[in-house]
Amino acid sequence: MQLVRGLHNLQPQARGCVVTIGNFDGVHRGHQAILARLRERAAELAVPSCVVIFEPQPREFFGPDTAPARLTRLRDKLALLAAEGVDMVLCLAFNRRLRELSAAEFVQRVLVDGLGVKDLEIGDDFRFGCDRAGDFEFLKAAGQRHGFSVDASTTVEVLGGRVSSTRVRQALADGDFELAEALLGRPFRIAGRVLHGQKLGRQLDAPTANVQLKRRKVPLTGVYLVSCEVDGVIQPGVANIGVRPSVAGDGSAHLEVHLLDFAGDLYGRRLSVAFHHKLRDEQRFASLEALKAAIAADIAAARDYWQSHPLMKSPK
């Protein structure tokens, strides 16, 4: 899959493609249905498929402190899009210049002059352009003028409700990982590189992998039963994600993973952590001894859980 950052980096051979536009946060089953249709139309027209995304996401640009936590960082989103068979991703910087484009200017510069769009697959609730003035009917009319077709994506429902990134975030907040997996089509994961930390876990008889988050916000906090694939082997474990209120820190969220019965060096490696079950909320302890006892109890609970829920297959 080709990644193009900005219209100025588009090459002439990229023109003439089937396009969809959106945040694609989580690349959930609703997104997967759009991408399946994108592949189908690209095959019918014998042209490449292209997904247009934005960095930062528009809500992050307008309200960085109030925007929802991302389900996937850009790197993970790109990997998921590649796995769905997308030929090209055009990543546009969402800045003041882009925000001030009118709907007509966006169509002309991005879709017509930039991508030479042949077909546009889009949600019928999609809004774009300055003050969100552009909508599905605007695109239909623009397509008639510029010679490209516009198709509305079909809403996907799972367990009685529409699949959306918002619904996935709510499932995670509720600790409903079965629902989150049903909406995503895979277990929810957070991936990052293992960094050196304070080494406090060793003092507490529970060495942990400090997984780099690189996120302003995280979509869940607490203590969870998790699993990771290391060298082709699924390793069950327990993880804490949050601000570590019992330890002096920087106030940022951290992800610390203890793998049961694992002995090895993970520093510098990229770890993908799958979340399966919530044990408890993150809490502040009065002493390191109290924290140590709580961690021991979490590990014991994790052992009991994994004995009755063995991990028999590799991650999806």
Is residue 170 included in any domain, yes or no? no
Is residue 63 included in any domain, yes or no? yes
What is the DSSP secondary-structure string of the chain? -EEEESGGG--GGG-S-EEEES--TT--HHHHHHHHHHHHHHHHHT--EEEEEEES-HHHHH-TTTSPPPSS-HHHHHHHHHHTT-SEEEEEE-SHHHHT--HHHHIIIIIIIIT--SEEEE-TT--BSGGG-B-HHHHHHHHHHHT-EEEEPPPPEETTEE--HHHHHHHHHTT-HHHHHHHHTS--EEEEEEE----HHHHTT---EEE----SS-S--EEEEEEEEETTEEEEEEEEEE--TTS---SS-EEEEEETT--S--TT-EEEEEEEEEEE-----SSHHHHHHHHHHHHHHHHHHHHHS---S---
- Domain shared by 72 and 145, yes or no: yes
Tell me the whole-structure pTM to 2 decimals.
0.90
Cα distance between residue 39 and residue 48, in whole Å:
8
Give the model confidence (pLDDT) of 230-239 as tens digits: 888 899 999 9
Number of domains making up the chain: 2
- Domain shared by 58 and 15, yes or no: yes
Sheet strand arrangement including 49-55 = 2-5, 88-93, 49-55, 18-21, 119-122, 149-152
Cα distance between residue 158 and residue 77, in whole Å:
22
- Domain shared by 259 and 120, yes or no: no
Is residue 166 included in any domain, yes or no? no
Confirm if 125 and 136 have CB atoms less than 8 A apart.
yes
In the chain, which stretches have pLDDT less than 50? 312-316
Which residue among 137, 158, 179 closes a domain? 158
- Domain shared by 18 and 115, yes or no: yes
Give the model confidence (pLDDT) of 49-64 as tens digits: 999 999 999 999 999 9
- Domain shared by 86 and 200, yes or no: no
Domain of residue 192, residue span: 188-308
Cα distance between residue 112 and residue 108, in whole Å:
5
Query: In sequence order, what are the beta bridge partners of 152?
Result: 122
Range 154-180 burial, b when 16+ CB lie within 10 A, else e: eebebeeeebbbebbbebbeebebebb
Is residue 39 included in any domain, yes or no? yes
- Domain shared by 140 and 254, yes or no: no
Domain of residue 220, CATH code:
2.40.30.30
Cα distance between residue 47 and residue 65, in whole Å:
40
- Domain shared by 127 and 41, yes or no: yes
- Domain shared by 201 and 115, yes or no: no
Alpha-carbon torsion angle 108, 110, 113, 116, nearest 10: -110
Domain of residue 30, CATH code:
3.40.50.620
- Domain shared by 131 and 279, yes or no: no
- Domain shared by 114 and 221, yes or no: no
What is the per-residue pLDDT for 125? Answer: 80
- Domain shared by 29 and 141, yes or no: yes
The answer, yes or no, to whether the previous bond of 236 is cis (omega within 30 of 0) is: no
Confirm if 226 and 239 have CB atoms less than 8 A apart.
yes
Which residue among 111, 142, 158 closes a domain? 158
